[in-house]
A and B are shown apart, each in its own frame.
Chain A
Amino acid sequence: MFAAFFAAYAVLKDGVNSGPSGKDLFNLPYALIETFVLLFAALTSGIGSIFVHRRKRKRAITFFLITALLGLGFLSMEWIELSDWIQRGYSWKFSAFLSTFFTIIGTHAFHVFFAILWVFVFLIPLFFRQITDTDIRRLSCLRMFWQFIFIVWVCIFNIVYLIGAL
């Protein structure tokens, strides 16, 4: 699905409707910070998952909560960046380039949102009882999902931001 979006981006990124292109809009250091925030979210979910396997309940909860917080931080950074663009009049309605950009970022943010939601869905029961085999399986899957989100973000950073800023 993201591959299809990237293909669309590659075709449409020059369709700027005589407005700003990636070169004018992208703030690469800011995007790099976002990348690191998400990297650490994936990393802490990995560490959390190790503690789940060792059945260390409290540490697992702590690390997955950090994951969720970093995820929220990532989303709010995106929000700040993009709402600034929209205020300057460059929303998805402005040009094909901005349309594909917002489609990709929006779809990715949607995934991040559900990853955060699912952290809470899986964690809340752990406050009240011990870790079961089902929890181990679920949280391992969730960890993979966080890593998937990060890998997709790496592709976005390379294809959308770096190539787009050329």
Chain B
Amino acid sequence: MFGRLTLEAFQHDWIEYAAGLSMVFGALATVILLTYFRLWKWLWKEWLTTVDHKKIGIMYIIVSFIMLFKGIFDAVMMRLQQVWSVGDSMGYITASHFQQVATAHGVTMIFFVGMGLMFGIINMILPLQIGARDVAFPALNSISFWLFTSGAMFILVSLIVGEFAGTGWTSYPPLSGLKYSPGVGVDYWLWTIQISGVGSLLSGINFFVTILKMRCPGMKLMRMPIFVWASFATMIMVMFAFPILTATLNMLTTDRLIDTKLFTTEAGGNPMMYINLIWAWGHPEVYILILPAFGIFSEVVAVFSEKRLFGYKTMVYAIFVITFLSFIVWLHHFFTMGSGASVNAFFGIMTMIIAVPTGVKVFNWLFTMFQGRVRLDTPMLWFLGFAIVFVLGGMTGVMMSIPAVDFQVHNTLFLVAHFHSVIIGGVVFGFFAGYSYWFPKFTGIMLNERIGKWAFGFWLSGFLLAFMPLYLLGFMGATRRLDHYEPQTGFFPLFAVAGVGAILICIGFGLQILQILVSIKENKKDLSGDPWNGRTLEWSTSSPPPHYNFAHIPEVHSIDPFWEMKKEPEMKKKPLHEIHMPSNTGVGVYLGALSFIFGFAMIWHMFWLAILSAIIMVGCLIARLYEKNTEYYISVEEIKRDA
């Protein structure tokens, strides 16, 4: 009946209990508050079942922020252990729990913070920037979001029921195989990524079609904002890379579930096959995260320098060179794992070449600032922080692309410092820039600039303190996922500095939460719809935009359409027409919930439940096919009332 699930799965040490219980209490408090204020109906009708791309975007950002909180908490736990567990002291958590925390941190940050913020911001901005009223497949968009959320739930649930994988975020076999990881941890890892990965793939297809088919009249491809170009390239990578992930996870699942011999060390299996495949997805994945961030910076730099972006065409070419190269560098993740000198040399050179288009982009941004009227508002500060940290991280990346150097620093904290430099410095700072830049557009209120600048200061200084020591530790030989070391190694002072850095980052994150609360209290409205003197179409509509985005579909004649429109003295009033919009649907919520039940049943080997939920899922899809009233019209009177 319950498969592998027994009462033992609920037995943990006190730290896990504390984390799990606080989570349960948080969820209970939310439920009680919602019931007390009678908000369930509102929540269901306005948010959970929505197909409005802006609301789905906001929900992505909320889920990502919750997961970011969890990810930062994991990071602080690891830092604490590494300061504590020296010599005779074994720290406060066990080695196996430490490995689980490390894995959960990686998975949370990549899949649910990086991907979540990326899809959130793309959802909110992209349709507006191309002058569309919604994405190509609005209901599919809702399904993608709920699959993403359902994936995130597995990580949280694993805190209470069972355990999480302790195999590192890429879970290499044979360690992740049944023989060496018999518990449910790796299964949680598999299903959390599998289900959210399917959601990402569906989103990728959705936005690819949206960009190709839904652009407003006059927006030729070479007139699209760079953020749209970057998203377009990202979606191409998603469509090519995520099926590889699905296939790879599928094979590891069958290895663990029905005893296939694909990645085993016996009966002809080949674990290296898995490592190649996971990085054939994994390397494009890091560019999937960074390219939209590059797109955001391209918008931010142009607006806050009051100048057209320098080198629009070279930006587009650079994006596509990166897209192409991202698929032929995967082997640099395992130079040390037995490929020959010539293979290593090829992948090393390809990796170095990626620095060229990236360098082109960095110089384009700097030249955009040159002789511009630069305003140092928060989004621009995030850009400046990015420019320093990311270039540093990029340079250490080029260092490691030399196989001989990589042999020295492979799997040390040097590597950890490198990818945190590019992911925090690039991706996270990029999304924070986008978040502070577009916040007024989506809520209609301005963020408090003063707290925003303080938050930036803490994040940047905290980052430098937390990760610069790791470069040194890497040279000294400290490996990644290190849960205990001897004092003679001399690691302690540097780990202590890194711990202080982590605390500063926490303060920065706390200030960001405070910033939201203070801004809501101040309630400084953005009435113009264009607080930053913007250049692209999203600023031409009101803040927040009406749910149909534009009363008139705009017409575009140049690269920075809104900038040109603002120069024209008077626009001719065109007659309004009825607007055709998709209706809300609960199918996303149902599929998300069912996929969660399905995954949970598979993890615990409750096969009857898995089959049942799979059948209901198919039933849901069929029911959706024959649903009536999937679309409606907004009358002219209603549009006039809004205006």
* Interface residues of A, Cβ cutoff 8 Å to B: 1-5, 7-8, 11-12, 14-17, 92-100, 102-103, 107, 117, 121, 125, 138
A34 to chain B, nearest CB (A): 23
Contact check, A121 vs B622: say whether CB atoms are below 8 A apart.
Answer: yes
Give the residue of A2, A8, A97, A117 whose beta carbon is less than 8 angstroms from that of B251. A8
In the bound complex, CA of A8 to CA of B255 (Å): 14
Contact A121 B243 (CB under 8 A): no
CA–CA, A107 and B249, complex, Å: 13
B244 at the interface (CB under 8 A from A): yes
The answer to whether B248 and A96 touch across the interface, beta carbons within 8 angstroms, is: no
Q: Does B634 contact A (CB under 8 A)?
A: no
Apart from the given pairs A96-B270, A117-B618, 18 other A-B contacts in the complex at a CB distance below 8 Å: A1-B247, A2-B247, A3-B244, A4-B244, A4-B280, A5-B251, A7-B273, A8-B251, A12-B269, A12-B270, A12-B273, A92-B254, A92-B258, A92-B261, A93-B258, A96-B268, A97-B268, A99-B261
The reply to whether the CB of B355 lies closer than 8 angstroms to some CB of chain A is no
User: Are the C-beta atoms of B248 and A15 separated by less than 8 Å?
Assistant: no
- B277 touches which of A4, A15, A102 (Cβ 8 Å): A4
Tell me if B259 counts as interface (CB < 8 A to partner A): yes
Query: B533 near A: Cβ within 8 Å?
Result: no
CB pair B247–A4 under 8 Å, yes or no, is yes
Interchain CA distance A100-B263 in the complex, whole Å? 10
Chain B, residues 616-643, CB within 8 Å of chain A (1/0): the string is: 0010001001100000000000000000
- State the Cβ distance, B370 to closest chain A Cβ, in Å: 45
Assess whether A96 is in contact with B269, with CB atoms less than 8 Å apart.
yes
Q: Number of residue pairs across A and B with beta carbons under 8 Å? A: 82
Q: Is chain A's binding surface mostly helix, strand, loop or mixed?
A: helix
Question: CA A107 – CA B251 in complex, angstroms?
Answer: 11
Q: How far is the CA of A17 from the CA of B268 in the complex (A)?
A: 5
Check B262 for interface membership: any CB of A closer than 8 A.
yes
How many whole Å from A136's CB to the nearest CB in chain B?
14
Contacts of A107 in B (CB 8 A): 250
Query: B268 and A12: CB pair below 8 A?
Result: yes
Let me know if B243 and A4 touch, CB within 8 A: yes
User: How far, in Å, is A75 (CB) from chain B's closest CB?
Assistant: 17
A82 to B255, CA, bound (A): 19
Whether A11 touches B273, Cβ cut-off 8 Å, given contacts A93-B259, A99-B260, is yes
B267 close to A (CB within 8 Å): yes
Contact present for A11 and B270 (CB under 8 Å): yes
A99 contacts B246, C-beta separation under 8 Å: no
Nearest A residue (CB) for B260: A99
Whether A99 contacts B244 by the Cβ 8 Å rule is no
| A93/B270 contact (C-beta < 8 A), A4-B243, A4-B248, A103-B250 known | no
Residues of chain B within 8 A of A14, CB atoms compared: 268
B268 contacts across to A, CB distance below 8 A: 12, 14-17, 95-97
Once the chains bind, are A12 and B262 in contact (CB under 8 Å)? Answer: yes
Cβ–Cβ < 8 Å partners of A16 in chain B: 268
- B246 lies within 8 A of A93 (CB): no
- Beta-carbon nearest neighbor of A13 in chain B: B268
Residues of A within 8 A of B267 (CB): 15, 17, 94-96
B138 to chain A, nearest CB (A): 17
Please report the C-alpha to C-alpha distance between residue A14 and residue B273 in the assembled complex, in whole angstroms: 13
Residues of A within 8 A of B254 (CB): 92, 99, 103
Q: Could you say which residues of chain A place their CB within 8 Å of the CB of B251?
A: 5, 8, 103
Write out the residue numbers on chain A whose beta carbons fall within 8 Å of the beta carbon of B246.
1
